[in-house]
């Protein structure tokens, strides 16, 4: 029950629904046990003694009990479902909230499909046990207790003989639980991997089709699906192994009942009606114990699901606000790195090593270097997507950890290398970081990003609803909407992470002209592979293997005969070749 104890805060606030459900469950169970007693009275008092005038009274009493049981069953099931549904509503919200605030480091190793499986299938598995499993478990216990009490009333010796095999049945049920729990955990994990495979395949469908890898993806899915099938077959084997043994133990009790009970009837120490009632009551005990396997099944699934949910809920979020975090308005934008190093995970080499620089508000700094040199890592430290392994990152002379995350990130406009757009209107995409922005501010941001003209050509303009990930727009159009989104935030620090990589040269020039106006009064970091995007920077940092190998303005670096000059010569030569081919 350790898993349920850890998750108690999610369902215990709604305990009133649970106790109401259990109260009416007691009524339902008590009436259920009365049925064999009515049958006993019918046989012993009406049939054997020929008191047939009692039949109408017994029938009316039986109908009355049926009506009470029906109403009690409704309330029991409704409040039980209410208990489970309201509990997992809070749990699902907490899980989603946790995922929103977990650091980038967690998502470096997490798989989207598996997380989706936890949010859906695992939450639902836990809910089903809260709604139905708890109720069934208590129903079985109540039914067994009340049935044993009535049986003892009829005959103590027959009760002992009848129930002598039940401890062995309980042992089988216990062993079944020990075997089935890891099997169900395996099913949940396999289902998570299957979800991941589907999600990756659908997300990357363009790549799959462009490289004609449909067959390969089908084989990979078949393998994941096959593993999921084998996990289910293994679990079914456990069920097939234990349930016949459970049924055998139950039938042994019935044989003992009929053998010894028949002897007592012949001796006159037990009435025929009592033996018939005994037969019904013993099944009220056997079937709950046998079906306890079903409840254990639900419990095992819920426990496995709960463990997977706790794996997310208990992740230590290393990047949080301090107790007295600064929650101010606009920052000036002075950025300083003091001997900063970054290692993403233990065992990996450092992504950044000994980085130091200082940039005054309103200045533009360019970052250039080969893939993996640490350009993006620098900007991710500013926004506290990651924490430095060593050194200190400061904004306005204060460590970034002194600011609340809301203040820090609302002052930083971030245009990522891969533009992500939501499946909503263009207007809502542009105002995503500033929901209160009015239409004039949204249009102004779009114009500055050179996006207004193509937006107005769309069927519904700014109200056009985009497909998933901006489907229907070109790469350059998506990039310009992402730039407009960053501009709309009106940040004091603007980060352009290869923001013009998906546009043609002409559009890039137009965006750069617009960005020159936008960058006034803002500290701007430009990550680019094209030197043309960095020529106007106040300082350029050339990185390689996580270190700054050159720094200065374009003119200085161009004459240094270093890495920057070599990159310029390669790009200039490539540009000349393209120009010559067009002329030819």
State the CB neighbour count (10 A cutoff) for residue 14.
Answer: 18
Distance CA 83, CA 127 (A): 9
CA distances (Å), origin 328, targets 210, 332, 407, 408, 490: 49, 11, 6, 9, 15
Query: For 73-228, where are the E strands, in sequence order?
Result: none
Distance CA 336, CA 332 (A): 13
Closest C-alpha to 369, from 359, 377, 361, 357: 377
Closest C-alpha to 509, from 498, 496, 500: 500
Using only C-alpha atoms, the chain has a radius of gyration, in whole angstroms, of 35
Residue 280: the pLDDT is: 82
**Judging by beta carbons within 10 Å of its beta carbon (0-12, 13-18, 19+), is residue 581 exposed, middle or buried?**
exposed
Strand partners, 342: 352
The structure tokens listed for 424 are 């909503």
Residue 579: the pLDDT is: 47
Top mean-pLDDT range of 205-214, 274-283, 390-399, 524-533 = 390-399
Q: What is the pLDDT of residues 419-469, one digit of tens each?
A: 778 888 889 988 888 888 899 999 988 888 888 888 998 888 999 888 766
**Judging by beta carbons within 10 Å of its beta carbon (0-12, 13-18, 19+), is residue 11 exposed, middle or buried?**
buried
Residue at token pair 């169970």? 29
Q: What is the pLDDT of residues 84-94, one digit of tens each?
A: 889 888 898 88
What is the spatial order of strands in the sheet that 398-399 belongs to? 352-359, 335-342, 390-395, 398-399
Top mean-pLDDT range of 52-66, 234-248, 449-463, 486-500 = 449-463
Closest C-alpha to 416, from 362, 461, 470: 470
Which DSSP state fits 425? B
DSSP codes joined into one string, 313-342: HT--------TT-B--S-----EEEEEEEE
CB-based contact 415:519 (threshold 8 Å): no
Distance CA 61, CA 584 (A): 103
The structure tokens listed for 25 are 């469950």
Q: How many helices (H) and strands (E) does the chain have?
A: 23, 10
Asked if pLDDT for residue 213 goes beyond 80, the answer is: no
449 by DSSP, 3-state: which? coil
Asked if pLDDT for residue 186 goes beyond 50, the answer is: yes
Average pLDDT, integer, range 279-306? 79
Average pLDDT, integer, range 485-489? 85
State the CB neighbour count (10 A cutoff) for residue 312.
Answer: 20
State the CB neighbour count (10 A cutoff) for residue 523.
Answer: 27
CA distances (Å), origin 578, targets 103, 229, 437, 507, 572: 43, 55, 43, 17, 10
403 by DSSP, 3-state: which? strand
Q: Set out the domains of the chain in order of their start, with CATH numbers.
A: 2-313 (1.20.1560.10), 331-411+493-503+520-584 (3.40.50.300), 419-490 (3.40.50.300)
Residue 355: the pLDDT is: 92
Average pLDDT, integer, range 189-205? 75
Binned at pLDDT 50, 70 and 90, residue 405 comes out as: confident
The structure tokens listed for 217 are 């993806």
Chain centroid offset of residue 31 CA: 43
Residue 122: the pLDDT is: 85
Q: What angle do CA 126, 127, 129 make, to 5 degrees?
A: 70
What is the spatial order of strands in the sheet that 412-415 belongs to? 412-415, 493-497, 523-527, 364-368, 539-544, 547-552
Residue at token pair 């699906």? 225
Q: What is the pLDDT of residues 236-285, one digit of tens each?
A: 888 788 878 877 877 787 787 778 878 887 888 888 888 888 888 888 88
Quote the pTM value: 0.71
CB-based contact 98:32 (threshold 8 Å): no
Q: What is the pLDDT of residues 518-569, one digit of tens each?
A: 777 889 998 887 777 788 889 999 999 889 999 999 888 888 888 888 877 7
Asked if pLDDT for residue 152 goes beyond 90, the answer is: no
CB-based contact 386:103 (threshold 8 Å): yes
Distance CA 566, CA 555 (A): 14
Q: What is the pLDDT of residues 85-127, one digit of tens each?
A: 898 888 988 888 888 888 777 877 777 777 887 888 888 888 8
Distance CA 325, CA 328 (A): 9
CB-based contact 530:449 (threshold 8 Å): no
**Judging by beta carbons within 10 Å of its beta carbon (0-12, 13-18, 19+), is residue 542 exposed, middle or buried?**
buried
Asked if pLDDT for residue 501 goes beyond 70, the answer is: no
Average pLDDT, integer, range 48-52? 77
Q: What angle do CA 445, 451, 456 make, to 5 degrees?
A: 105
Average pLDDT, integer, range 175-202? 77
Q: What is the pLDDT of residues 348-376, one digit of tens each?
A: 778 899 999 999 998 999 999 888 888 88
Distance CA 455, CA 428 (A): 13
Distance CA 223, CA 227 (A): 6
Asked if pLDDT for residue 71 goes beyond 90, the answer is: yes
Top mean-pLDDT range of 56-60, 178-182, 451-455 = 451-455
Top mean-pLDDT range of 125-134, 208-217, 393-402 = 393-402
Mean pLDDT for the chain overall: 82
Residue 503: the pLDDT is: 62
Distance CA 274, CA 521 (A): 94
CB-based contact 389:344 (threshold 8 Å): no
């Amino acid at each position: 029950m350790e898993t349920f104890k850890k998750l108690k805060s999610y369902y215990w606030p709604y305990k009133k629904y649970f106790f109401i459900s259990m109260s009416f469950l007691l009524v339902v169970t008590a009436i259920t046990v009365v049925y064999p007693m009515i049958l006993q009275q019918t046989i012993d008092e009406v049939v054997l003694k020929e008191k047939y005038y009692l039949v109408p009274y017994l029938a009316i009493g039986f109908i009355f009990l049926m009506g009470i049981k029906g109403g009690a069953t409704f309330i029991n099931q409704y409040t039980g479902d209410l208990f489970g549904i309201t509990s997992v509503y809070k749990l699902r919200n907490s899980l989603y909230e946790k995922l929103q605030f977990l650091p980038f480091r967690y998502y470096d190793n997490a798989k989207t499909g598996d997380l989706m499986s936890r949010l859906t299938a695992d939450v639902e598995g836990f809910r089903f046990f809260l709604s139905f499993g708890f109720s069934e478990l208590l129903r079985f216990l109540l039914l067994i207790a009340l049935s044993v009490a009535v049986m003892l009333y009829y005959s103590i010796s027959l009760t002992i003989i009848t129930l002598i095999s039940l401890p062995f049945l309980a042992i089988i049920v216990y062993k079944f639980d020990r075997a089935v729990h890891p099997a169900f955990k395996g099913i949940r994990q396999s289902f998570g991997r299957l979800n991941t495979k589907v999600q990756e395949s659908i997300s990357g469908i363009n790549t799959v089709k462009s490289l004609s890898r449909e067959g390969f993806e089908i084989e990979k899915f078949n393998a994941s699906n096959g593993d999921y099938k084998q996990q289910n077959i293994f679990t079914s084997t456990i069920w097939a192994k234990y349930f016949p043994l459970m049924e055998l133990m139950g039938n042994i009790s019935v044989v003992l009942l009929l053998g010894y009970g028949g002897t007592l009837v012949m001796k006159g120490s037990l009435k025929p009606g009592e033996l018939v009632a005994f037969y019904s009551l013993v099944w009220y005990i056997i079937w709950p114990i046998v079906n306890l396997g079903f409840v254990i099944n639900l419990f095992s699934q819920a426990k496995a699901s709960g463990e997977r949910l706790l794996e997310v809920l208990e992740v230590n979020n290393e990047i949080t606000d301090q107790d007295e975090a600064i929650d101010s308005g606009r920052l000036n934008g002075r950025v300083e790195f003091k001997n900063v190093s970054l290692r993403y995970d233990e065992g990996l080499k450092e992504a950044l090593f000994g980085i130091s620089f200082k940039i005054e508000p309103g200045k533009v700094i360019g970052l250039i270097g080969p893939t993996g040199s640490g350009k993006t890592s620098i900007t991710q430290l500013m926004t506290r997507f990651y924490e430095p392994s060593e050194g200190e990152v400061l904004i306005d002379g204060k460590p970034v950890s002194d600011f609340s995350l809301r203040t820090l990130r609302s002052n930083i406009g971030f245009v990522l290398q891969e533009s992500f757009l939501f499946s909503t209107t263009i207007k809502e995409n542009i105002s995503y970081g500033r929901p209160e922005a009015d239409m004039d501010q949204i249009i102004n941001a779009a114009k500055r990003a050179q996006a207004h003209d193509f937006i107005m050509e769309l069927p519904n303009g700014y109200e056009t609803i985009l497909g998933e990930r901006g489907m229907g727009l070109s790469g350059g159009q998506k990039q310009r909407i992402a730039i407009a989104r960053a501009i709309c935030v009106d940040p004091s620090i603007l980060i352009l992470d290869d923001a013009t990589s998906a546009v043609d040269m002409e559009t890039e020039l137009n965006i750069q002209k617009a960005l020159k106006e936008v960058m006034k009064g803002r500290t701007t970091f430009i990550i680019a592979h094209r030197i043309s995007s960095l020529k106007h920077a106040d300082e350029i940092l050339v990185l390689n293997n996580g270190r700054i190998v050159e720094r200065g303005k374009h003119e200085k670096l161009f004459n240094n005969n270093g890495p920057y000059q070599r990159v310029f010569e390669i790009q200039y030569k490539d540009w000349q070749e393209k120009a010559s081919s067009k002329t030819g």
